[in-house]
Each structure stands twice: as structure tokens, then as C-alpha cells.
């Protein structure tokens, strides 16, 4: 299954794969490495401390990818910023303005309807992929005019969905002929090919990209993923208020009992009055780390070059083109 909307990028993709946008993990080095290896590189714009740094990231990534193209003769895969459209993102308008100046070819919207940003992004020439975690959200994003849907399924790392990927993909494909991206549980090239057979155009790979040399993740986070399996992933609302897949060993290391977590969103250091107490408490993403069910497939910390080469070999062995 290949949506017509992806044809313009087809000859630039070594794999039908997106390096998933991950908070505090996806940065310049990971984006450059992914794109020059034929993998769509995505990053949350909020990973930048300011709109000025976001401008700087775009400029540096563009320069380095142009150098790669000049040296190799191969055009890299597209860069794909991830825009948080929820009202809690106080930089939404400023970050959107940066995107419109740099005209990325693909943009992913998360945590809300893509409707408010669709027209300006389309006018700038971008394809817009919208994160969705339910059939109802998929229907709404499709009706709004999203070019693609990222289906957050059970097993995806970080903030995720809960639907079975087989059921979710087939239900959405029944009413939607745009780009479908599967997010959740893609641990190797065979799983990537299976996503295509299921009816997807692309898939996310997140957890395995955390454990790469180029990711911004804490080295302890990377090693913890190597030492963990899917059994070590806990789905909980305690840290963000939304269903989130977190690494149980990191919860234990932060001094919190994973079997006795408080109510929805209760672990929120922003609600503390005392500054010293706020700084001393474990912080989500900084001390308590995310991971997906594909943690079972993380066996070492690799360079992106090696991870993509291995995934490509697995994909071709499974019958992928």
C-alpha cells in the first residue's frame, strides 16, 4: 500500500520508516543520521529551548544534509518536524511561523486536532500527518483534511493509544485512503514489512532509535532499554495524565513504587509550592523514561547507520521491496 501522496518522496526513502519524534531524545544528530540513511527524521519542535534554537536546528540540519547530498549524489529523506497543537504549547504560533519559513515537506501534529494549522501548512507545501489514538479521532482528522494519520496503538512508547494495531489499521483503512502510519511495536524490518501488508504506508520506529549513539537520551536510558524487555513497560496515566508507556526500572530507580502509583496525573512536580521540593522530586522524561513494547528488540546501543542497515536487511529478507 503506497498512498499517491507519498510518491514524491518514494525514491528518497530507503525504508518506509519514520524515526519517531521523541521528547528530549530526537535532535540534530539523530535527524541528520536518519535522513541521510533514507529514513524520515522527525522531532518535536518543543525539543528546542526557544524558537531561535528551532531556527538554528533547521539551518544546521539543512546545511549538513545538503553537504551529504553533494558528496553522495543521493537526496536525503525528508525532515519532519512534530508540532504539538494542544493549547498547553505556548509556543505554537511562534513555532508554526518558523515552520512556514523553512517549508518542511512533512509535518506531524500531535495532542489535538490538526484543523487550526492545516491551511497554512498546506499553503507552504507540507503534507500534514495527524496523531490519532481512536477511531473517532481518526474520523475527525480525516474530515479536517489531514493528508495522513499516525495511528498510536498499544505498545507505542511515550504517550500512546490502547487499540490493537491489527484492528485499528483495518478499521481506519476501511474509510480512509490517505497515508497511514503505524506507531507501536515496530522492532525490526520484518515487523515493518508486516505493517505494509496490513495496509500501512509507513511506520514509526521509536524505542530502537532511543538506543542509538546519535540520540539525545541519557546514556543510562539507552542501557536500560538494552537490559529491558516488553515486560518492563508500564502503561500508566500517573505521570502525564494521558496513557503513557514508561520503563518500570526507571520508576523504581526514581524511588517510586510502580505497583502503587497515585491517581491520574498526580505525579506532577509543577504542582509543588516549595521550589526545593519541586527540584528534588523525580521528573517525568528527565528521571522517569519512556519505552515501547519493542524494547525486547533492543540488544545494543548502535549507530544509526548500523540500525538502518540491519533493519533494511531484515525488511528485504521478509519480502519488502
* pLDDT tens digit sequence for 244-266: 999 999 999 988 899 888 776 65
Residue 19 has pLDDT above 60, yes or no: yes
Q: Tell whether 165 and 256 lie within a shared domain.
A: no
Answer whether residue 287 is part of any domain. no
Q: Tell whether 150 and 223 lie within a shared domain.
A: no
Least confident range of 91-95, 177-181, 268-272: 268-272
Answer whether residue 231 is part of any domain. yes
Q: Please, what is the average pLDDT of the chain? A: 91
- Residue pair 149/138 in contact by the 8 Å Cβ criterion: yes
Kindly state the average pLDDT of the residues 239-244.
84
Answer whether residue 206 is part of any domain. yes
Pairing of strands 179-183, 17-19: unpaired
Q: Tell whether 64 and 196 lie within a shared domain.
A: yes
Write the CATH number for 94. Answer: 3.20.20.70
Report the side by side order of strands in the sheet with 158-159. Answer: 158-159, 244-247, 233-236
- Residue pair 304/77 in contact by the 8 Å Cβ criterion: no
Q: Tell whether 53 and 135 lie within a shared domain.
A: yes
Answer whether residue 192 is part of any domain. yes
pLDDT band at 64 (very low <50, low <70, confident <90, very high): very high
Could you tell me the pTM of the whole model? 0.92
Q: Tell whether 156 and 268 lie within a shared domain.
A: no
Q: How far apart are CA 204 and CA 187, in angstroms?
A: 10
Nearest to 130 by CA among 269, 21, 267, 10: 21
Our count of domains for the chain comes to: 2
Q: Tell whether 104 and 241 lie within a shared domain.
A: no
DSSP code for 5: G
- Residue pair 217/27 in contact by the 8 Å Cβ criterion: no
Amino acid at each position: 500500500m503506497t498512498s499517491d501522496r507519498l510518491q514524491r518522496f518514494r525514491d528518497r526513502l530507503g525504508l518506509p520508516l519514520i524515526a519517531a519524534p521523541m521528547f528530549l531524545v530526537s535532535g540534530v544528530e539523530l535527524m541528520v543520521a536518519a535522513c541521510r540513511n533514507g529514513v524520515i527524521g522527525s522531532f518535536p519542535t518543543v525539543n528546542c529551548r526557544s524558537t531561535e534554537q528551532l531556527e538554528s536546528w533547521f539551518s544546521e540540519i539543512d546545511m549538513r544534509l545538503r553537504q551529504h547530498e553533494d558528496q553522495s549524489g543521493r537526496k536525503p529523506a525528508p525532515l519532519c518536524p512534530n508540532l504539538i497543537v494542544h493549547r498547553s504549547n505556548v509556543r505554537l504560533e511562534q513555532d508554526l511561523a518558523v515552520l512556514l519559513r523553512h517549508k518542511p515537506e512533512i509535518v506531524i501534529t500531535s495532542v489535538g486536532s490538526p484543523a487550526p494549522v492545516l491551511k497554512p501548512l498546506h499553503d507552504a507545501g507540507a503534507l500534514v500527518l495527524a496523531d490519532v489514538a481512536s477511531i473517532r479521532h481518526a474520523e475527525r482528522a480525516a474530515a479536517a483534511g489531514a493528508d495522513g494519520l499516525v495511528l498510536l496503538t498499544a505498545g507505542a512508547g511515550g504517550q500512546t493509544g490502547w487499540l490493537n494495531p491489527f484492528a485499528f489499521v483495518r478499521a481506519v483503512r476501511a474509510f480512509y485512503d490517505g497515508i497511514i502510519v503505524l506507531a507501536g511495536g515496530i522492532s525490526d524490518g520484518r515487523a515493518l514489512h508486516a505493517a505494509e501488508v496490513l495496509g500501512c504506508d509507513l511506520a514509526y520506529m521509536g524505542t530502537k532509535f532511543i538506543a542509538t549513539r546519535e540520540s539525545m537520551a541519557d546514556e543510562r536510558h539507552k542501557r536500560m532499554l538494552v537490559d529491558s524487555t516488553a515486560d518492563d513497560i508500564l502503561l500508566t496515566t500517573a505521570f502525564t495524565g494521558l496513557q503513557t508507556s514508561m520503563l518500570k526500572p526507571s520508576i523504581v530507580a526514581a524511588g517510586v513504587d510502580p505497583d502503587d502509583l497515585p491517581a491520574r496525573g498526580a505525579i506532577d512536580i509543577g504542582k509543588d509550592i516549595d521550589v526545593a521540593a519541586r527540584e528534588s522530586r523525580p521528573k517525568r522524561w528527565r528521571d522517569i523514561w519512556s519505552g515501547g513494547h519493542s524494547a525486547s528488540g533492543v540488544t545494543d546501543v548502535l549507530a544509526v547507520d548500523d540500525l538502518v542497515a540491519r533493519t533494511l536487511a531484515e525488511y528485504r529478507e521478509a519480502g519488502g521491496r
